[in-house]
Structures are given as structure tokens and as C-alpha cells.
Chain A
Amino acid sequence: MPTHQRLGGTIVTTPTPRLAVRHLSKSFGSIRVLDGVSLDAEKGQVISIIGSSGSGKSTLLRCLNLLEVPDAGEVALDGQPVRFQTRRGRLHMSREIQALRASLPMVFQSFNLWRHMTVLDNVAAAPIHVLGRPRAEAREHAAALLTRVGLADRAGHYPHQLSGGQQQRAAIARALAMEPKVLLFDEPTSALDPELVGEVLKVIEALAEAGNTMILVTHEMGFARNVSNHVVLLDHGAVAEAGPPEQVFEAPTSERAAQFLASVM
């Protein structure tokens, strides 16, 4: 949905955001987890979603690819609103949803690499079976991506033979293999031993520099500040503060944001 602004008599069209989230709400039972959240991700933008646990960060992320079904609100990818239907409260699967998910792959906190597949097969599986790429081509691409995340020598290993940091890097390669429009990261370093966090953050940082559009839910405040160009602070399911990291971290306007930042910094 392009917005039109009148500037000195000429019409300027601002580009459609890659991902536009409008008034997203979601409740689990009587608990309102998301309460009218709106958010735009421009192409190439890196957005960090921060907030205390239970603030709705992960639910917001999971509503974007419909792993959770929002109760109200709209998500639009490149200006196309995401349409879905539910039956008896459960998402009714469609090709459209599959295509959406394929373009918004997710990196999970607990990696969730398919344990019965080698690392290479993990990376090549969705391109082959979802995107319909020829097997040889997908495997070649997968090998190149594994090299990019520093796992060229682990391609034939199974996930359980890898360290947590290596598994998460493989999971990032798996997401990259989709040639994603937006990469979703759900607390990608929370399950890692402290000494392994760095290697994963380094890979994510390189992706940010390469111009990938990314939305990260994270507890790593220093990282959020250095890598992202937009930070959203959620509190009780609503946006408490949003803006460039300097503003959110150094000059928060809301009291709730100031409190939260004081407690984590």
C-alpha cells in the first residue's frame, strides 16, 4: 500500500514496505498477548524486537508467518495482504500460506534442524520440495551457503554431531537457501552456551551488512543496538517504543521503555 504525499505540488510515492504489519492482535484464552501491534519493515532493514519475557515478542514474530494465527489485524508482504482461513480455530493450509512461509523462513531458538537429515540435506530440502528446484542445483547452492556460514566441512554430518553454534549457523544457511524476502530470527542465541553466541551473531551481522531484510527477536541488547537500524520495544503486547536504536536506547520517550532499559542495560 503506497502512501502518497504532496510535496510542493508533485506527488511522491514512498516505496511499499517489504513487510507491513497493521494492528495485529492475538489472545491465548483470556490473555491478550498482542494488542494492536503495527510495524513496517523496509527492504534491507534490520529490525530488532526487544522486551521482557511475556511481552509478546515471539508471538508477534510467529504471527508473521502464521505459525500463530492472529485474531485481528493484517500482514502484507510487498503490498500483498496475506489471506488465510481458519477451520475450527485451526489454520486451513493453502498454497498461498506455503508460499508466504517459504519467503519468510524462520531461525528458531532451539535450531530445529531436521535430525534425520545431514546438514546439507537440511539446507537443500525446502528448496527442492517447496520451491521445486532441481536436486543437483539445490545441493550445490546449499554447499555454497554452508561455506558462507563456515560449515563447509560439516555438510555430511548430522545435526547432533554439531555444536549448538554450528547447528544455529546451519539453520541460518537453511533459511538463506529460500532466498527469503524477510529472515525471521526467534531468539537465535538464547539456547547457546555463552562462548558460542559470538559466532552466530557474527554470521547474522554479515547478513545485515549484505542487505538482507531481517526481523530479530533478541535479548542481546548490545547486538540489537549495533546491528539493527530499527528497534521495537514491546510491553504487554503493545509497542512501547519504536525508532532508531540510538533513540530507543538513549532517549526513550515512554516511562515503560526507560524502566525496561534500565533493568537490562
Chain B
Amino acid sequence: MDWALMASFYPDLATGITVTLGILVGALSIGVVLGAVICAARLNRVPVLAQVFDGYVLFFRGTPLLVQLFAIYFGLGQFEAVRDSIAWPLLREAWFCAVLALGLNSAAFTSEIMRGGVLGVERGQLEAADAFGFSPLQTLWLVLLPQALRIALPAYGNEVILMLKGTALASTISIMEITGLARKLSSEHFAPFEAFIAAGTIYLVISITLTSSFSFIERRLV
């Protein structure tokens, strides 16, 4: 174990932090927005949409993230319709495919977390809002969402950590995020242990920061 070598890896690896966090933030954004749509459609049993999303959630929860990433990055390009579409300039970019795959995957899990949060709110809480003349929209904003958020937050914190670690898969499609850089450094210096342990400590610092942020918010929300 060459500590000095390991220490020398950090400045290089640090350049990958913004890439990792960029993929994470992009994926989580897709996950929250699409997850909310999926959750709303499934809870209200919107015809067609609810069934489509049932299948969507089944697929994205039941298959490996790496398979989903490969299917999107390597797979979509084989279809002419995709290559001819206006989305192709984006879909042939590795970073976009990484954000998309992680985002679609996160949406499936996030929708389930949201569903658990909404269903976890006691009926009586909503009934009280009804009984005091709140409109359906007021009940949603003033009672249902704040309480569902509180219930869902611990599970969502977990999802964020899982997604952070999921970003490492982006290295398999040539993206130079933290893990990609660690692979490069490890082969350049023939020092895989030093390179990957250094990368691991960076992930650890990020996830500890995220975890403590979530527990701080949880405490603030009573």
C-alpha cells in the first residue's frame, strides 16, 4: 500500500466529482418528476396510463441497472427510427444515456417510495381537512403532501445513496466520473488498490454528507 501514491490520486479523482454529482442530480430530477407522475397515475388508477406504469415499474425494479444502461446506450442506436429522430444527437452521448438510464430507474423506485408516503398518511388527517372545508387541492398541499413527504423521506434518502453508487456504472460506458478516473489511474500506475480505495473514500464522504443532510431535514420536519 503506497500511501503517498494514493494521496497523489486525489486531485485527479476530484475532477470527476462534478461529473458524478451531475449525473446524480440529473437522474434524481428525472426520478422525482417522472416518479410523481407515475405515482399519481397509479394511485388514481388512470385508465391505460396506470397499466402502462405498472409494467414500467415492474420492469425497472426487476432488472439490473447495468442491463438498463447497456440497453439504452448500446441498444437504442441499432434502430434506424432512433438514429433518424431529433433525439439522436442526445441519445448517442454517453453522459445523456447515463442520466437517462439512472433517471428512468430512479423514477420506478421513487414512485414506489412516494406511493408508500401517500398511503401512509392516516385517513383521519385527510378527513379532518375535508370536514373543515378544504378544497381537494388545499388538502393535497396543506395536509397530504407535507405528511407524505415526512413519511417518505427516510426511504428517499436511501434511494439517493443507491443512485450515488449507481453513477459508478456510468464508467462502463466511457464516462470519466470518479470510478472511470480511478480505473484510468489504476492502469496507468499499476496501483488498483490505491486508486479504488481513494475513489471509495470520496464516495464515502459524499454519502455521509447526504445521509446527515437527510437526517437533519428529518429532524426539522418533526
Whether the Cβ atoms of B130 and A129 lie closer than 8 Å is no
Tell me the nearest residue of chain A to B124, going by C-beta: A112
Tell me the nearest residue of chain B to A106, going by C-beta: B131
Whether A116 touches B132, Cβ cut-off 8 Å, given contacts A110-B124, A158-B222, is no
0/1 string, A108-140, CB within 8 A of B gives 1 = 101011111000000001100110000000000
Whether the Cβ atoms of B128 and A115 lie closer than 8 Å is no
Q: Is B11 an interface residue (CB 8 A)?
A: no
Q: Is B136 an interface residue (CB 8 A)?
A: yes
Task: Report how far A130 CA is from B136 CA in the complex, Å.
Answer: 12
Chain B residues 13-32 with CB under 8 Å of chain A are: none
Whether the Cβ atoms of B132 and A126 lie closer than 8 Å is yes
Whether the Cβ atoms of B128 and A178 lie closer than 8 Å is no
Whether the Cβ atoms of A67 and B131 lie closer than 8 Å is yes
Task: Report how far A115 CA is from B120 CA in the complex, Å.
Answer: 13
Q: Is B162 an interface residue (CB 8 A)?
A: no
Chain B residues 140-194 with CB under 8 Å of chain A are: 142-143, 146-147, 150
B122 to chain A, nearest CB (A): 8
A30-38, A96-104, A142-150, A251-259: which lies at the interface: A96-104
- The listed residue (B127, B136, B138, B146) touching A112 by CB distance below 8 A is B127
0/1 string, B50-64, CB within 8 A of A gives 1 = 000000000000000
Whether the Cβ atoms of B128 and A101 lie closer than 8 Å is no
Chain A residues 35-50 with CB under 8 Å of chain B are: none
Tell me the nearest residue of chain B to A116, going by C-beta: B146
Whether the Cβ atoms of A67 and B132 lie closer than 8 Å is no
Residues of A within 8 Å of B135, CB to CB, are: 93, 98
B119 to chain A, nearest CB (A): 16
Residues of B within 8 Å of A65, CB to CB, are: 131
A245 to chain B, nearest CB (A): 27
Tally of contact residues, B, Cβ under 8 A: 21
| Dominant SS among interface residues on chain B | helix
Q: Is A51 an interface residue (CB 8 A)?
A: no
Chain A residues 215-245 with CB under 8 Å of chain B are: none
Whether the Cβ atoms of B125 and A105 lie closer than 8 Å is no
Whether A116 touches B128, Cβ cut-off 8 Å, given contacts A93-B136, A98-B135, A102-B133, is no
Task: Report how far A116 CA is from B147 CA in the complex, Å.
Answer: 7
Residues of B within 8 Å of A67, CB to CB, are: 127, 130-131
Whether the Cβ atoms of A101 and B221 lie closer than 8 Å is no
Whether the Cβ atoms of A113 and B128 lie closer than 8 Å is yes
Residues of B within 8 Å of A125, CB to CB, are: 132, 142
Residues of B within 8 Å of A115, CB to CB, are: 125, 147, 222
Residues of A within 8 Å of B70, CB to CB, are: none
Whether the Cβ atoms of A101 and B125 lie closer than 8 Å is no
Q: Is B10 an interface residue (CB 8 A)?
A: no
Q: Is B134 an interface residue (CB 8 A)?
A: yes
Whether the Cβ atoms of B133 and A108 lie closer than 8 Å is no
Residues of B within 8 Å of A114, CB to CB, are: 125, 128-129, 142-143, 147
Residues of A within 8 Å of B146, CB to CB, are: 116
Whether the Cβ atoms of A98 and B222 lie closer than 8 Å is no
Whether A101 touches B124, Cβ cut-off 8 Å, given contacts A116-B146, A125-B142, is no
Task: Report how far A110 CA is from B125 CA in the complex, Å.
Answer: 10
Tell me the nearest residue of chain A to B221, going by C-beta: A116
Whether the Cβ atoms of A102 and B124 lie closer than 8 Å is no
B140 to chain A, nearest CB (A): 12
A120 to chain B, nearest CB (A): 14
Whether the Cβ atoms of B147 and A101 lie closer than 8 Å is no
Whether the Cβ atoms of B150 and A116 lie closer than 8 Å is yes
- The listed residue (B134, B150, B221) touching A126 by CB distance below 8 A is B134
Task: Report how far A114 CA is from B131 CA in the complex, Å.
Answer: 12
B138 to chain A, nearest CB (A): 6
Residues of A within 8 Å of B143, CB to CB, are: 114, 116
Going nearest first, the 3 A-B pairs with the smallest beta carbon separation are A102-B133, A112-B128, A126-B132
A-B contact pairs, 7 of them (CB 8 A): A99-B133, A101-B131, A106-B131, A108-B131, A116-B150, A126-B132, A158-B222
B residues sitting closer than 8 Å to A (CB atoms) are 122, 124-125, 127-136, 138, 142-143, 146-147, 150, 221-222
